[in-house]
Structures are given as structure tokens and as C-alpha cells.
Structure 1
Amino acid sequence: MKDTPGWASPGSAPSDGQEPGASGPAGPTDRPGSAEPSDQPGPDPQDAPDPQGPGSQWSKQQPPPGQWSAPTGPADPGRPTPPPPPPGPGWGTQPPPGPGGYGTPGPGGHRAYGTPGYPAWGGGWGGPPPAAKPGVIPLRPLGVGEILDGAVSTMRTYWRTVLGISLTVAVVTEILVILLQGLVLNDTSTAALDDPSATPSELTRALGEVMLSSSAVFLISLIATVAATALLTTVTSRAVLGRPVTTGEAWRDARPQVVKLFGLIVLLPLIAAAIVLGGTLPGILVAIFGNADAGVALAVVGGIAAGVVALWLMIRFSLASPALMLEKQGVVKSMSRSAKLVRGSWWRVFGIQLLAGIIANIISAIVILPFTFLAAALGGDGVIGFLNSDGSNLGWTFLIISGIGSVIGSMITFPINAGVTVLLYIDQRIRREALDLELARAAGVQGYGTDAGSGG
């Protein structure tokens, strides 16, 4: 069988019995009974006489010295010595391109060693070629640092669009929260919660007011999170392809999915709350109708177990938001897609999102705390009075100054959280579904993935 051009290793005999470029026979010329060179090719090297025996002569065309050395060690007297290597380039060199040589396709269209993307003989393996990077991330499986850097690079490269979206959402949200706290929540009395002599009706009323105010603030924050996530998901997906996007384009692309995204973000906390309630409910019932101490202990144990289950489910569904926005899926289908992508990588997804959350909260705290102390100092009671208060009856000065700090903090945390989630979703799809090939084609990268395709 003839070797494919460019694949024959140095030192191996050509399969046709003739050295490349030689016009005479490949075997020894002193074969008994043949004074003149024969037109027929010599026998197989395995049948040739021992070259170390008397009277053996070899072709004068020998390879240049120092190109390669034969393995050292004791020779096996019962095994014939293979013929010397054919003349040609040594290890680590590359013949000029030509028909059938390095750099040209061989039989069947396969490229030979030495062409771009394939190591030459003796050249060593220098690792895979660098991945294409049309946007903020390379199109290959990402590391933790690359995901975080991609989120920051998106915010830095497209800062007008990203900060414009984050600022708009944060300002509208904080204005609503300030008005709610200043006009409604300051009238809420929580003193009964700290009064040991309060009646059950007073405690119930105070607890209901606190829950109502907290729910109102949570609902406003939830709507803001939905809007920011929807718009920033579109921006980040365009940033991966290296394509700019305006706020108007991001809104037009995200608008059909906003209602579904709102339903998803409302549904996930309700699922978590239902699981925790289901875990603590047996203990509560035991405490009410039976032994109080046993009921409390059972409620604590059940709450911890239910909390673990709820955390596991929330991480499992954590990629549902980008799946819903980018794949135009429904709520249930996006949750199923997230569960499929996270399967087998739960700890990795959990660790990356936990790290991103810690970084975002630290940055937010660094920004908000100075504004909070400044607001307390400029308020009527000062910093000491603010620290000793129960958080009610906050003045407008405090609410406005602290609100400015919250707006700045949200401008930073919104893009980080949304960017990490989207890039983590893209990374999981690259690892499981070879999404990098589709992204490269969408970005217009020429020739990306053709080597892999030609080898099949």
C-alpha cells in the first residue's frame, strides 16, 4: 500500500521499492548473478541479505550526516537491519510546497502534516491554534476569569448602551422606592415588634405592615431586575459577536419576551418559598398542636433541608433567563433548557454565580456605604441617631442621598450579574452543543471550524 504523501516517517522504506528522486534501483547492486542493474525493482527489504555481512554494498546516495540518529542498543543477530533512510529533509524541516508534498492536500482532500493547524515531523506540538475572538470572549470553553472579564469588557466596550440602560432602570426604580418609603412606609409602625407587652393583635398588625412594605419594595426591585436583565442579555449576546447595539435595538429585540421573563422571575422565588414552607410546615403544626420544643426543632431541621433543595433548584434553573431571551422559549421550556445545560456542572455554575454575586455585592457596598453615612450625617439625628434607630421615619434628605448611592451601585451590579449569567449560558452551550461554530459563522469568521470538518 502506498503511503499518503507527507505522512511517511523519516527512515522508513518507500512502499514502491524506489527512493524518491532516484533513477536507479533501490536495493544493493552486488546481488549475486547480476552484474548490470536490473530494470526490475529489488526485493522487499525484509528478504534482503544482511547488510553487515561480507560483500554488501549500499547506494552512494546517503542522507546528510547529523539529520537523525538510529536507536542505540544491541543489535538482534536474527533480525535483518532495515535499509537506510531515503534522502530528503530531516526532522523538523519542511519541503517546498508542490504536488503531493507538505502544504498541499493529499489523496481524499486531507491536508498533510506541516500545513497550518498540523504539526510538521519533529516540529513538536505547540498546542491548538488560538480561538477566534470576534467580541468580548474567545469562541471556546471559558474559564472563570474569562467569564468575569467578558462581563466587565462588555460594560467597558459598550459603556454608553450598558450604563445608559442600567442608569435608566436604576433611577426609575429608586425614585419609586423613595416615594414609597417617604410617603407610605414612614407611617408604618414597627414598635410593637420590639415591645414585649404588645398584644397579639398589635403584633399581627405590625407584622402585616412590615410584610406589605417589604413586598412593595421587592415588587419594584423585581420589575427593575426583569427590565435590566432583558435589555442587558441582548447587549451581551451582541457583544459576543463583536456587534454594537443601541438601547432602542435592545428593547425591540427583548420586548416580545419581557412578559414571559417577568413570569419566570416571579415563578422561581415562589417555587423556592413553597419548598421552604413545605419543609417547615410539619414542625409548625407540631409546635401548635403538640410539643412546642419538638416542633421548633423539627421546623429548623425541615427548613434547612428544604433550603438546600431550594438552592439546588434555583441553580439548576439559573440559566433559564438567557435561554428564554435568546432562544425565544416559553417559561417551562426555558426552565427545562436550563436544567439540561446545568446537568453535570452544578457545582461549577454555583461557584461562578456565587463569586459573581460576592464581587457585585462588595462593589455595591463600597459605593453605597459612604452615601449612607453621608446621608445620616446630614440628616436630623446624625450618624449615632441613625445607628440607634429602627429604620422608620427616615427623612427626605437621608432617602435622597442614600438613593443616589443605590443608583450608582445598581449601575455596576446590573451589568455584572446579567453579563455573567449570559456568558455562563453561552459557555455551557459551547461545551455541550458546539455553539462556538454557530457564533463564528454568525460573526463572519472565515474558515472557522473547517479543519475539524475536513477530517471526518
Structure 2
Amino acid sequence: MNDTPGWTSPGSAPSDGQDGSGVPRPTAPADANGSAPQWSKDQPPAGQWSPPSDRTPPAGPGRNWGAPPPNVHWGKPPAAKPGVIPLRPLGMGEILDGAAKTLRSYWRTVLTITVTVAVISQTANTLAQRYLVPAPADISPDATPAEELRQSLESAQSSLIGLGPSLLVTLMASTVSAALLTVVISRAILGRPVSLGSAWQEARPRLLQLVGLTLLMAAMGAAVVSVGLLPGLLIGGAPGVALVVLGGFGSLAAAAWLIIRFSLASPALMLERQGVTQSLKRSAKLVQGSWWRIFGITILTQLLIFLFAMIIAIPFTIVGIAFDGDGFSGLLSGTPTTFGWPFLIITGIGGVITSAVTYPISAGVTVLLYVDQRIRREALDLDLARAAGLPGYAATSDGRTVGG
């Protein structure tokens, strides 16, 4: 006979045959004397059950799938940008934006350079048009196509000879402007301020070599075009006209190829302090394999500059014609005419405004293309980061630069 009381859940209390939850408690069998066993009065209190909390259960599999962990950045960190461009290979938009940012950030120095150059160039051009360029010649309505071409070429030759001194002055002024702007843009890449005096001190030792490089490039282009046009001009007649057209297109294509191939020679000469020949070779090496890309960016830049120039020039031209009575009457009668001082002065003011804005954009694109090619080929971004004093970049014992 087992006199052990029956099992009950821990924490139940004796209460008329019920546990603490109101559920009847199982009873134990009577002992040999017929009396039921007594429950201990020292039972623990009834268990307290709390209802489920309102907390949201933790997310199971599939919830917020794909979200990155906190404080984790996916992909490469952004490139360092101490100045007007990020120190990495650049896109076309970033090159144009960097040139525009240089104009905005360093406008005092930049506009001082470009306005001075533009005033000198426009003054020389105005004087040449007034005193040196001959009046346009009348073309006979009965002239054959060959005669019309010959007369047009003679007129263009006379105008070019008359504008020669002006073009020479403009070329020299543009060369000085390009040299100074190259120094300014190289400092803008590092985010450093630069004054006109410091830019001049750094650019002055390289000016003669830059002038020689500019004249050599111009002579090369003129020689290529002349070689293309000369056979047609010597033959004359209808075959000569056709040959002039074909030779003209061919020579222009060859000249464009040379211009793009050596387009980075100027910043190479200024920033690497190399000679004229070495700068041409340096440009050819940097452009190799990227000719079409540099050609596309250069053409787009020149197209934007041309559109901006037209937007500025058209209103000034209309106002100049309106103020110049002789020129306006000549246009109405359809006869060749020479404009007077009012037209030349008003259009010259428009030319100064155009040149003051377009010079830094054109120079900026050239310098940034040079920097971009060196970043792509030679990891110049590490040297620029070290030169800018960015943290995490240090020079090794052999002079190389490593970046963190």
C-alpha cells in the first residue's frame, strides 16, 4: 500500500480540493485507517502567469532581406576631393564642371588674366579690321565656278594678310593667358589659393618655350593644309576645283589628328617643365589609345564655346549694325560695305565678354584632360593627394606615394 499523496503541480495550495487556479486537485487514496492524508500548510504560493507582452517578435528569415548592416558602407569609398575635381579618373561632365568651378572659385585671378588678354586681342583685331583689312571685292555674276573660287581665295588671302598682325598679337596674348591659367588650374586641383603675382612668377620661365611650341603647332597645321590645297590650286579649272575640295577635307582631317595628338603638350611643358620636343612626345604618349575620347571632349567643349559666343555676339552685332548707319544701309542695298567705328567698338565689347569667359573654360578642359590621362596611366591621383596634404597618404622610401 502506497501512502504517498498524489502528484500535484508545484505551487498549488490546499483550498477545498482545488488548486490555486480553481481546477479540482487530484485526491490521494485513503490509508489503512480510512483517513485521507493531510496536505502540508507550508505550500509555496500559487504560480503567477503573465499574459503575452505586446512586443513585436524579432524578425524572422526574409524580413528586411537585403538591408545592409548598420554603419556599413557598400562599394568603394568616395575619392578624395581637395579642390575642383575628385582625385580619380574623370568623366566628361566632371572635366567641364571642374573648369567652370575654377572660374567661379578663383574668379578674381582668372578674370584679371582673361579680361586683360581679351582687351589686348580685341583692340588689335579692331585696329586691323579698320585699317589693314581690304574692303570685300565684287564678284562678277558672269564668273565661272573656277573664277569665283579664285576670287574668293584671293579675297580670303588679302583678309588674312591684313589680319596677320592682329592674329600674331592674339596668339601671343592667348599663349600668356594659357600659361597663367595652367598654373591657376593646377592649384585649383589641390584646393590652394593662387594670386596673379605667384602665377606669373611660376609661368614666366616657361613662356618662351610655350611661345615656340604654339608657333610650331600653328606652322604644322598651316603646312598640312597648304599641302592639301596646293595641287588643286596649281592645276586650276574644274579638275582643280574638285581637287581643292578633296585636298581641303583631307588636309583638315590630318590637321585635326595632329592637333588632338599634341593637344596635351602645353600643360606637359608647363607642369612637367620639359622642352618643346619632349612635350610633344609626352602628349603623343598620353593621347595614344584615347584619341577619340579626347577628340570628343574637345569638340564638345568648342561647340559649347561657339554657342555661348553666338549668344553674346548676336545681340551686340545687331546693336552695332543699328548704330552704324553706313553699314546698315550697305546691308539693305546688298552691296559690300565696310563697317565704321560704332560697329567695331560695340562688337569688340561683346568679343571681350566672350573671350573673358571662354578662355578659362578652354584652358581648364585642356589641363584637366592632361591630369585625367595621367591619373589613368600613371596613378597621378596619389601624388596629388600627397601634395594636397590629405591624411592617409605618405611617400615611401623610394619616392612613390601610397594612399590609405
Closer/same/farther in 2, CA of residues 388 and 350 from structure 1, 3 Å limit: farther
Closer/same/farther in 2, CA of residues 435 and 384 from structure 1, 3 Å limit: farther
- What residue in structure 2 maps to residue 279 of structure 1? 228
Closer/same/farther in 2, CA of residues 390 and 336 from structure 1, 3 Å limit: farther
Structure 2 SS opposite 1:191: coil
**1:138-287 maps to which residues of 2 (within 5 A)?**
138-185=86-133, 188-192=134-138, 209-285=158-234, 287=235
How far apart, in 1, do the equivalents of 2:284 and 2:227 lie? Answer: 22
- What residue in structure 1 maps to residue 323 of structure 2? 378
Indicate yes or no: 2:228 matched with 1:305: no
How far apart, in 1, do the equivalents of 2:283 and 2:60 lie? Answer: 57
Could you tell me which amino acid in structure 2 is paired with residue 277 of structure 1?
A: S
String of CA shifts for 1:236-286, please: whole Å, max 9, x gaps. 01100111111111111111111111121121122122122223333444x
Counterpart contact for 2:326–2:339, Cα < 8 Å? no
**1:87-166 maps to which residues of 2 (within 5 A)?**
126-166=74-114
> Which moves more between the two structures, 430-439 or 210-219?
210-219
**Cα offset, 1:294, TM superposition:** 3.2
Closer/same/farther in 2, CA of residues 388 and 433 from structure 1, 3 Å limit: farther
Closer/same/farther in 2, CA of residues 368 and 300 from structure 1, 3 Å limit: closer
**Cα offset, 1:202, TM superposition:** 9.8
* Greater share of helix: 2
Counterpart contact for 2:125–2:163, Cα < 8 Å? no
> Which moves more between the two structures, 413-422 or 309-318?
309-318
String of CA shifts for 1:133-160, please: whole Å, max 9, x gaps. 1110011111111000000000000010
Larger Rg computed on CA atoms: 2
Closer/same/farther in 2, CA of residues 387 and 252 from structure 1, 3 Å limit: farther
> Which moves more between the two structures, 237-246 or 204-213?
204-213
RMSD: 3.3
Could you tell me which amino acid in structure 2 is paired with residue 209 of structure 1?
A: S
- Equivalent of residue 302 in structure 2, options 357, 368, 386: 357
**Cα offset, 1:128, TM superposition:** 0.9
- What residue in structure 2 maps to residue 412 of structure 1? 357
TM-score by length of 1: 0.66
How far apart, in 2, do the equivalents of 1:382 and 1:169 lie? Answer: 28
Structure scoring higher RCO (CA < 8 A, sep ≥ 6) equals 2
How far apart, in 2, do the equivalents of 1:377 and 1:213 lie? Answer: 26
How far apart, in 2, do the equivalents of 1:235 and 1:404 lie? Answer: 25
String of CA shifts for 1:365-412, please: whole Å, max 9, x gaps. 111211111111111136464476677532111111111111001111
How far apart, in 2, do the equivalents of 1:175 and 1:428 lie? Answer: 37
Count residues with an aligned counterpart: 334
TM-score by length of 2: 0.74
**Cα offset, 1:225, TM superposition:** 1.4
